[in-house]
């Protein structure tokens, strides 16, 4: 099992460009999450999906959109990138629909720089 | 503001010593989890303690939870150089699907 995979690993964007970060899990998990991690700070939740077809906002959703394409895949889209979105982005998944009740499995991250 | 805050922010010890990290939080929780992050990598789950538990062990790890003080501690015994990493506590807020992470403790273990 690959676990949680993310693409790309690195990306540089210019201000105003758009891009989609891809995440897939092969553990048949119900819940999936997108976090961002900035220097000196913990992870902050952007969006999450408790099950296929549902998505909810986290702490810092502004400037992002998500799609739960199917049970395996959860993508994060930046429509018009801003320098404040420079960060490392992590995708995670969890077994149950109430994902916070169980451990989460993380992908390796995408390092995004917006110039 | 962050729900969980770790203390200390950074810790340096010699191999063989014990490392203790603390986490404080603000609101009622369903459970508290500890994760480890090696430099440049994703987070790895270490241990989960539920709100009705007071102590939990896993190998060289010991976690305690005091809900009256809204605090938890992670003890790593007989530390190794390979334990060098950042450690984060994360709280599952009561009645939500959200896991809120603290700012982390950077542990450096010298051989």
Chain segment B27-74, per-residue pLDDT in tens: 888 899 999 999 889 999 999 999 999 999 999 999 999 999 999 999
Distance of alpha carbon A13 from the chain centroid: 17
Q: Each residue of B58-86: b (16+ CB within 10 Å) or e?
A: eeebbbebeeeebbbbbebeebeeebbbb
Residues B106, B110, B111: CA angle, nearest 5 degrees:
145
A3-17, A42-56, A72-86, B47-61: segment of lowest average pLDDT: A42-56
Interface contact flag, A100 B42, Cβ < 8 Å: no
Q: What is the mean pLDDT of residues A84-100?
A: 88
Q: What is the pLDDT confidence band of residue B92, given thresholds at 50, 70 and 90? A: confident
Residue A40 pLDDT = 75
A 10 A CB-CB count for A28 gives: 9
Residue B1 pLDDT = 46
How far does the CA of residue B71 sit from the closest CA of chain A (Å)? 17
- A4 DSSP β-pair partners: A25
CA torsion B89→B93→B97→B101, rounded to 10°? Answer: -20
Residue A80 predicted with pLDDT over 90: yes
Interface contact flag, A100 B93, Cβ < 8 Å: yes
Of residues A85 and B99, more confidence is placed in: A85
Helix/strand/coil for A99: helix
């Amino acid at each position: 099992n690959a676990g949680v995979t993310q693409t790309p690993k690195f990306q540089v964007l210019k201000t105003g460009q758009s891009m989609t970060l891809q995440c897939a899990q092969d553990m048949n998990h119900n819940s999936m999450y997108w976090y961002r991690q900035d220097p000196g700070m913990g992870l902050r939740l952007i969006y999450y999906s408790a099950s296929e077809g549902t998505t909810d906002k986290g702490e810092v959703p502004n400037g992002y959109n998500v799609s739960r394409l199917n049970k395996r895949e959860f993508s994060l889209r930046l429509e018009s990138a801003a320098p404040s979105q420079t960060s490392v982005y992590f995708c995670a998944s969890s077994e149950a629909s109430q994902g916070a009740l169980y451990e989460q499995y993380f992908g390796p991250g995408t390092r995004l720089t917006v110039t | 503001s962050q729900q969980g805050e770790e203390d200390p922010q950074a810790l340096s010890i010699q191999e063989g010593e014990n490392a203790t990290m603390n986490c404080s939080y603000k609101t009622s929780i369903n459970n508290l989890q500890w994760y480890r992050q090696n430099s440049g990598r994703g987070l790895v789950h270490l241990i989960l303690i539920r709100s009705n538990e007071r102590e939990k062990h896993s190998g060289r790890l010991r976690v305690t939870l005091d809900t009256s003080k809204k605090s938890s501690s992670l003890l790593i015994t007989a530390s190794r150089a390979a334990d060098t990493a950042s450690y984060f506590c994360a709280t599952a807020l009561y009645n939500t699907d959200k896991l809120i992470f603290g700012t982390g403790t950077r542990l450096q273990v010298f051989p």
